[in-house]
Structure 1
Amino acid sequence: MEEIGLLMQGFGVVLQPQNLLLMVAGIVLGVIIGVLPGLGGANGIAILLPLTFAMPPVSAIIMLSCIYWGALFGGAITSILFNIPGEPWSVATTFDGYPMAQQGRAGEALTAAFTSSFVGALFAVILITFLAPLVAQFALRFGPPEFFAVMVLSFASFIGLSKGSPLKALAAMMAGFLLAAVGMDGVTGTLRMTYGSMELMRGIDFLVVVIGLFGLSEILVSIEEGLSFKGARAKLSMGIVLQTWKQLPKHWALALRSSVIGCWMGITPAGATPASFMSYGVARRTARDPESFGKGRIEGVIAPETAAHAAGTSALLPMLALGVPGSPTAAVLLGGLIMWGLQPGPMLFVEQKDFVWGLIASMYLGNVVGLIIVLACVPWFAAILRVPFSIIAAIILMVCAIGAYTVNTAEFDIVLMLIFGVIGYVMKKLDYPLAPLVLALVLGDRTEESFRQSLLLSQGSTGVFFQNWLCGGIMTLAIGIAGYPLISKAVGLFRRRELKPAQ
């Protein structure tokens, strides 16, 4: 098959000494980021993205994606040993992982978590390998109306399928569109919302915003909450690893089901956190003795870790094939691709084959390397938590400031970073999601461009978005998903009214 040949070429790119070194460095940095509460894959990539500006795009994306894989692995360490989720999707892992550690089974829990994460990621990468080229080939038929419909579907998914308030998701999204409109209009060349400021003429830089929203705001929240690390010691021997590996094949059906749930939630895009909770809930409901969950069941570690890794990896499929990110981390990576002069979407598979298949090959090799590193170095990574958090916070704040300044070598960007750090802190305290804002900021210009091009083609008629079955079907689906919270609420009220007379 053509995909296998292209994948082999991708391995040739990844196996270059420079890229291998960056892969290992990315995995190590990612695990450290995952271990430290207050950070995460999206935060780490946003903070470290300026360091990759001098690298070739292939090398840069390999390092950044490996930071993401490492963060996914690292989140399990603090969840199991310290009962502190290093990542939001690691919360479900604490339910059974920490009880296992308290029972002296920390090595078994860690081995199960890392191996399950590897299996979930491998399942998602295989899916990307064979499905992404087909989706990209189909998307080559898209015109401006179809691309606008896909963008609307992505935005609607964050509104209709979000766990929190749909109105808050919509408000955050509108704020992202507002920020994306600042600067010069790409069609008419006129200035918008610059208010006479020379610095705002170039627009509000995506990277400066995400460094503030993700990096700085998380540190502020962590400082406010206060962190103390007390937990079990990490001991992993080859005997424990091999003994755990003998048990894992018995749970192949659980791993397969969790992988499917994770991939679906990653592509939808619902995200790794809902995927881990859903997978854990399904595993508990289908178990013979669900009461034992939460008391140290290995299935309670396998299910969320497999689903979280599958979701986190599969979220890159719509980003590569359609240019629509499936998660906040994918949105940050998308912004990086645009900054390197690459246009994510179906043409990427035609014009940048080395880049695409080098990235996919790095997913295979990066997860293998990540599994080896975390199994061999868990005690060292856990020891990072002995460093006082005040020192860690100061280092992270310094890296954030350097990263923001590096984007345009402008002091004004550091001020913007501080402003958006406070905005991100307030949004988190008020339970406003950051992902819709970031998505709208990244895709705002492309969405506006597709919308205006569509209206020019149709001489101002919005019927162009329903002119054929493909565009009309996507728009109808988007409207249905966006209106799902209202529909479900109306159905709930109707049922309650029906039950009242019977009572």
Structure 2
Amino acid sequence: MEAFGLLLQGFTVLLTVDKLALMMLGLVLGIFVGVLPGLGGPNGVAILLPLTFTMDPTSAIVMLSCIYWGALFGGAITSILFNIPGEAWSVATTFDGYPMAQQGRAAEALTAAFTSSFIGSIVAVLLITFLAPSIAGFALRFGPPEFFAVYLLTFCSFVGLGREPKHKIVVSLALGFLLAGIGMDTVSGTLRMTFGSTELLRGVNFLVAVIGLFGISEILLTMEERLALRGHAARISLRVVLDVWKTLPRYWATLIRSSAIGCWLGITPGGAIAASFMGYNVAKRFAKDKESFGKGRIEGVFAPETAAHAAGTAALLPMLALGIPGSGTAAILLGGLMVWGLNPGPLLFVEHKDFVWGLIASMYLGNVVGLILVITTVPIFAAILRVPFAAIAPMILVSCAIGAYAVQNAMFDVWLMLGFGVLGYVFKKLGFPLAPLTLALVLGSRAEDAFRLTMIGSGGDLRVFWSNGLVGFITTLALVLLFWPLISSGREALMRAAGRLRTA
């Protein structure tokens, strides 16, 4: 009951004209930030952070957090309409969202993405509201072994649960790990695979790679297949929105599973990227018709969007309660708190109740207003598909180039984006999946750092991954998923043998 009282107090702090205006401004800016490939929530918050230094802390954090919520919603727009992930965690949304748009179901896919984003975020906010003390204590148990076990679980789920040929998944993962190793080794400080290039010292930025792999390669494929002469027709009505909402009870298990995965990986923190891929793979695993995934199944939009947004929201909990940022955006907000003279941690909930509960109240209101805003503007985004692709393709190409350049203000990244576009085109032609490559490129360096720190701490003893119940459970689950195809085939062989014995 105390949480309810504090939450109501937070709403009284939030419900003023100036803070509501800042919230709306933040949401609109965030949607545009999410739509522009390469910019994304963390960069958008970082760019606009200096504008808030003259504001009071509550107004500033409300505006910045609403930019984040808007970017979370907006990241799905280009993923579904043009197969260009607006955010790295939107990659999994393209698997079924873009095929739905090709089938003339763009409005349905967008509505599904926005609705599941809202559900995932609200579940995470409820978790923050009522379980903050116990969740904060759980997060303190995570060290390098636990972090590596979470990353291992994500990689193994791709190999074990993926429907593509296993050797192609492994090749894609291996290439991603190789690319992730370019640049300066964060543990030893030595340079790796830079070949004397100063541009490669900072490594390969995953947003640049994602824009090329998915955006540029899709333009090349569309031009080759001569599908670019006219855009896909799309119509939108309130009936479409209501029809999508009517299907939600049918997918209640997927929504609950994805929300749980997202909250777990957001708090630990595994991150929204890992959550989106894991949510998608788990939904595919539990589906009766697995072959329909990747061909325009609405459940393939619900699962990654719910997981990603639950993770993105839950990442704010360890930042507020412990001062440990669970995501890039949370790290930027952490810096803002310190500039405003606030020290994140358990005492923040005691010394600055108005600030903390005003922020939590803005999470509720910002997501509700954000959902209404994007749902009502779906016709604008869906109407883009009516424009002939021959006219829109140059705009997409320029947008991709601007996004790639904006990541680090480097022309080299534009050329790198084009190179990844060719690589993505070749992979698609040869039938190699791009998702494992992207996942390894994004999480490979983090997994390597966690593994090496673990080995340094344990003296090279691999038994450290079973040194306690938490890390042991995660590691064992990862290995089970890795060898799940062998386990399944062995079980089927035993059942066939038992059947032959019974008939004999």
Match of 1:206 in 2: 206
Contact 1:139/1:322, CA 8 A, preserved across alignment: yes
| Counterpart-to-counterpart distance in 1, 2:363 and 2:420 | 32
CA contact (8 A) 1:26 1:66 kept: yes
1:420 is matched with which residue? Answer: 420
Matches within 5 A, 1:183-202: 183-202=183-202
2:270 corresponds to which residue?
A: none
The 3-state SS of whatever aligns with 1:54 is helix
1:56 lines up with 2:49 in the alignment: yes
> What RMSD, in angstroms, separates the aligned Cα atoms of the two structures?
5.0
Describe the superposition over 1:391-430 as per-residue Cα deviations: whole angstroms up to 9, x where unpaired.
Answer: 3221121122222223333322221111112112223333
In the alignment, the residues of structure 2 paired with residue 169 and residue 360 of structure 1 have an alpha-carbon distance, to the nearest angstrom, of: 40
| CA distances 1:420-479 after superposition (whole Å, capped 9, x unpaired) | 121122233334333333333333333222222222222222222222222222211211
241 and 349 in structure 1: CA distance in 2 versus 1, 3 angstrom threshold: farther
| Correspondence 1:314 to 2:310 | yes
Structure 2 residue corresponding to 1:21, chosen from 21, 25, 43? 25
Separation in structure 1 between the aligned mates of residue 41 and residue 222 of structure 2, nearest angstrom = 20
Cα gap change, 1:381/1:473 in structure 2, threshold over 3 Å: closer, same or farther? closer
* C-alpha separation in 2, matches of 1:341 and 1:115: 27
| Alpha carbons of structure 1 residues 8 and 143: separation in structure 2 relative to 1, 3 Å | farther
C-alpha contact (below 8 Å) 2:69/2:367 kept by paired residues: no
Which letter does structure 2 place at the counterpart of 1:398? V
Which residue of structure 1 aligns with residue 71 of structure 2?
67
After superposition, residues 31-180 of structure 1 pair within 5 angstroms as 44=37, 53-56=46-49, 62-70=66-74, 72=76, 87-90=94-97, 117=116, 120-121=119-120, 124-126=123-125, 128-129=127-128, 130=130, 134-180=134-180
State the one-letter code of the partner of 2:390: S
**Pair 1:276–1:462, CA change in 2 (3 A):** closer
Task: Return the letter of the residue paired with 1:54.
Answer: I
The one-letter code of the counterpart of 1:186 is T
User: Structure 1 stretch 375-384 or stretch 418-427: which is displaced more?
Assistant: 375-384
Instruction: Please give the residue correspondences for 1:472-487 in structure 2 after superposition, counting only pairs within 5 Å.
Output: 472-487=472-487
Residue ranges of structure 2 left out of the alignment (5+ in a row) = 51-60, 83-92, 266-274, 290-296, 320-325, 336-342
Q: 1:157 to 1:360 in 2, by over 3 A?
A: farther
Q: Distance in 2 between matches of 1:340 and 1:440?
A: 27
1:94, distance to aligned residue in structure 2 (A):
8.5
Q: 1:445 to 1:383 in 2, by over 3 A?
A: closer
User: 5+ unaligned residues in a row in structure 1: which ranges?
Assistant: 34-42, 79-85, 283-299, 324-332
- Name whichever of 314-323 and 350-359 sits farther off: 350-359
| Correspondence 1:454 to 2:454 | yes
CA distance in 2, matches of 1:385, 1:195: 43
Describe the superposition over 1:134-183 as per-residue Cα deviations: whole angstroms up to 9, x where unpaired: 44431212232222222222322232233433433333222222222212
- Percent identical residues: 40
3-state SS, counterpart of residue 188 of structure 2: coil
Would you say the 8 A contact 1:120–1:255 is kept in 2?
A: no
Q: Count residues with an aligned counterpart.
A: 443
- Counterpart CA distance in 1 for 2:234 and 2:149 is 50
SS at match of 1:56: helix
1:192 Cα offset (Å): 1.4
Per-residue deviation, residues 99-153 of structure 1 (Å, max 9, x unmatched) = xx9xxxx9xx899969964774465345543567644431212232222222222
Shifted more, 112-121 versus 437-446: the winner is 112-121
In structure 2, distance between residues paired with 1:150 and 1:440: 13
Provide the C-alpha distance between the structure 2 equivalents of 1:29 and 1:179, rounded to a whole number of angstroms: 27
Q: 2:198 & 2:102 partners in 1: Cα distance?
A: 52
Gap change, CA 1:309 and 1:419, over 3 Å in 2: closer
Letter in 2 for 1:171: V
The equivalent of 1:40 in structure 2 is: none
1:262-306 Cα shifts (integer Å, max 9, x gaps): 435656845565677789869xxxxxxxxxxxxxxxxx98x7776
Q: What amino acid is the match of 1:458? A: S
In structure 2, distance between residues paired with 1:362 and 1:210 = 31
Note closer, same or farther for the CA distance 1:201–1:6 as it changes in structure 2 (3 Å cut).
farther
Local SS of the residue matching 1:55: helix
1:46–1:215: 8 Å Cα contact kept in structure 2? no
Counterpart residue number, 1:291: none
Change (3 A) 1:15 1:179: farther
Using the size of structure 1 for normalisation, the TM-score is 0.68
Aligned equivalents of 1:410, 1:3: Cα separation in 2: 47
Shifted more, 433-442 versus 172-181: the winner is 433-442
Distance 1:279 1:207, change over 3 A: same
The CA deviation at 1:76 is 8.6
Report deviation, 1:383.
2.8
Q: Is 2:404 the partner of 1:404? A: yes
Contact 1:29 1:70 in 2 (8 A): yes
- Contact kept? 1:207, 1:335, Cα under 8 Å: no
Task: Judge which range, 185-194 or 348-357, deviates more.
Answer: 348-357
The Cα shift of 1:372 comes to 2.5
* Cα 1:280–1:172 shift into 2, 3 Å: closer
Tell me the equivalent position of 1:395: 395
Q: Distance in 2 between matches of 1:369 and 1:375?
A: 10
> Per the alignment, in what secondary structure is the counterpart of residue 47 of structure 2?
coil
Task: Find the aligned partners of 2:421 and 2:117 in 1 and give their Cα distance.
Answer: 33
CA spacing shift, 1:138–1:356, aligned 2, 3 Å: farther
Contact 2:116/2:305, CA 8 A, preserved across alignment: yes
Q: Check 1:479–1:278 CA distance in 2 against 1; reply closer, same or farther (3 A cut).
A: closer
Question: Aligned partners of 1:92 and 1:356: how far apart in 2?
Answer: 41
Question: Structure 2 length normalisation: TM-score?
Answer: 0.68
